[in-house]
Structure 1
Amino acid sequence: MENLADFETSTVRERAASLTRGAVTAREKLERLFPFVRDDIAFGFPPGGDLVAASETLRLGYGQCNTKATLLLALCKTCGIPARIHFSLIRKDIQKGFFTGLAYRLLPEELSHSWIEVELEGRWRRIDTFINDLPLFHAAKRALRSRGWQTGYSLALGDGEASADLNLDHEAFQQMDAVTRDNGTWDDPADYYASPHYRNRPGLLRLMAYRLMIGRINKRVRALRLTAPA
């Protein structure tokens, strides 16, 4: 499998250059890249599942935790920001509300999940707050509270809070409270997906079901986003 964080492609290089034009420090560059990945790449489930290159996510304009992490990783690498992807397992109830009925039952109990770590000013910082675009984040947070849930709609509130901000100095997260197992850091997601640690590898039945149901699942994502406060 070729590298999915294809940071040397012209598509990724040109987008990174346009986003960071005029920025000098790694912090300044990251502050430009982050809102683009969070908001311009809307949250949604691509037909290719996790196995989507960064350049393809740019073309699609949407992605989920793993594909958006792949994109942010590639953009950081293009800009010379030391970055790595950190994989874990996460409870499947993180997607409760979007996946329902048979689609939810077909999910593994634990899903492979990732976030990004960047080395900034001598320290590695964890970032997962790019996963949900801002309108979806606010709508999901309100939906969870109205249902009395702590986890679902791609958020894990934990103590009742979550963040959609770039928190480099005071870490805050969107999904970390639902993480169950650490699978370490990887240079490229393709290496993890080829390893025995990867849990989202579907059999033929699950792959066919996913492709049949993904349109309806993404429709639920869009419908929830529309409920966000103006």
Structure 2
Amino acid sequence: MKTLVENTPLLDFNHPSLQQLIDQRGWKNLSVKDQIQSIYHFVRDEIVFGYNVDDALPASTILKDGYGQCNTKSTLLMALLRGVGIPCRLHGFTIHKALQKGAITGIWYLLSPTSILHTWVEVEYKGKWNHLEGVILDRDYLSQLQRCFGAQPGEFCGYGAYTENLSNPEIDWAENHTYIQAKGINADFGLFNSPDEFYQIHKQALNPIRGWIFRNIARHSMNANVQKIRAGHLRK
């Protein structure tokens, strides 16, 4: 367990901004269950859904951005959990890009790789490992998807979600697994002690030109689209 509470370059929970947040929220004074719940809710809802410049960012940078997707939110969630002494690890996958359609549109969707790197955090609680994937979409964004598509029966795939029940997805942690994209998984890379270890081996399937386009052009358009959806400008 010692390696699962360590500070790393990406899990930089000793950074002043993360230490200040932990102190301000009083997380060290809570029970372990309340620590996990409160940190989970913070990353899910106060770090809104959006696309950062890269996956392999330090937690302090993600906190400063104030937004993230599956991979960057996982890094921040792990750093904050370890910052209060809770063991956690990373599980790596790829997901099919179809679940991003709607959040990513037009030429940017066509240019995106078919399989996209995906991660979730696994936290140890009462001797069991809980999967915390439901942290990806913030409540405000998800509520707009539910407003438009929540009555749709069966599976819902798109706009950053792939779930069997959009109106009531498994996103609240109460000593359980949480999921919002898991049905889109198409490859399993296994467990890693840290995101640093994961990204040393696995990268997004983007060539240098497409990587530059994503970082400098596409993601800004994608984030603008996500913001419009969150603001209620989504129609079926």
The reply to whether TM is greater than 0.5 is yes
1:205 partnered with 2:209: yes
Equivalent residue number for residue 165 of structure 1:
172
Q: Where does residue 78 of structure 1 map in the other structure?
A: 83
Write the distance in 2 (CA, Å) between the matches of 1:146 and 1:59: 36
| Residue number in structure 2 paired with 1:109 | 114
Aligned-partner Cα distance in 2 for 1:22–1:11: 15
Q: How far has the Cα of 1:203 moved from its partner?
A: 1.8
Contact 1:162 1:174 in 2 (8 A): yes
| C-alpha contact 2:116 2:205 (8 A) present in aligned 1 | no
Unpaired runs of 5+ residues, structure 2, are 1-7
Contact 1:3 1:188 in 2 (8 A): no
Q: Which amino acid aligns with 1:26?
A: V
For structure 1, which runs of at least 5 residues remain unmatched after alignment? none
CA distance in 1, matches of 2:138, 2:96: 21
Counterpart in the other structure of 2:232: 227
TM-aligned CA deviation for residue 144 of structure 1: 4.3
Q: Measure how far apart 1:140 and its partner are.
A: 2.2
What count of residue pairs does the alignment treat as equivalent?
224
Residue 63 (structure 2) pairs with residue 55 (structure 1): no
Q: Distance in 2 between the 1:3 and 1:130 partners?
A: 22
1:178 aligns with 2:184: yes
Match of 1:150 among 147, 152, 156: 156
Bigger drift between 127-136 and 202-211 goes to: 202-211
Other-structure match for 2:134:
129
**Contact in 2 for aligned 1:5/1:73 (Cα 8 Å):** yes
- 1:142 Cα shift? 3.7
Matched, 1:91 2:100: no
CA distance change for structure 1 residues 101 and 39 in 2, over 3 Å: closer, same or farther?
same
Judge conservation of contact 1:88–1:113 (CA < 8 Å) in 2: yes
What are the Cα deviations for residues 48-91 of structure 1, in whole angstroms up to 9, with x where unaligned?
22122100011111111110110000000110001111111111
Q: In the alignment, is the contact (CA less than 8 A) between 1:12 and 1:75 conserved in 2? A: yes
TM-score normalised according to structure 2 size: 0.86
Report the 3-state secondary structure (helix = DSSP H, G, I; strand = E; otherwise coil) of the residue aligned with 2:130: strand
Corresponding residue number in structure 1 for 2:4: none
* 1:158–1:199 CA distance, 2 compared to 1 (3 A): farther
Distance 1:31 1:145 in 2: 25
Q: Percent same amino acid among aligned pairs?
A: 29
Q: What secondary structure sits across from 1:28 in the alignment?
A: helix
Q: Are 2:101 and 2:158, in contact at CA under 8 Å, matched by a contact in 1? A: yes
2:222 is aligned to 217
- What TM-score results when the alignment is normalised by the length of structure 1? 0.88
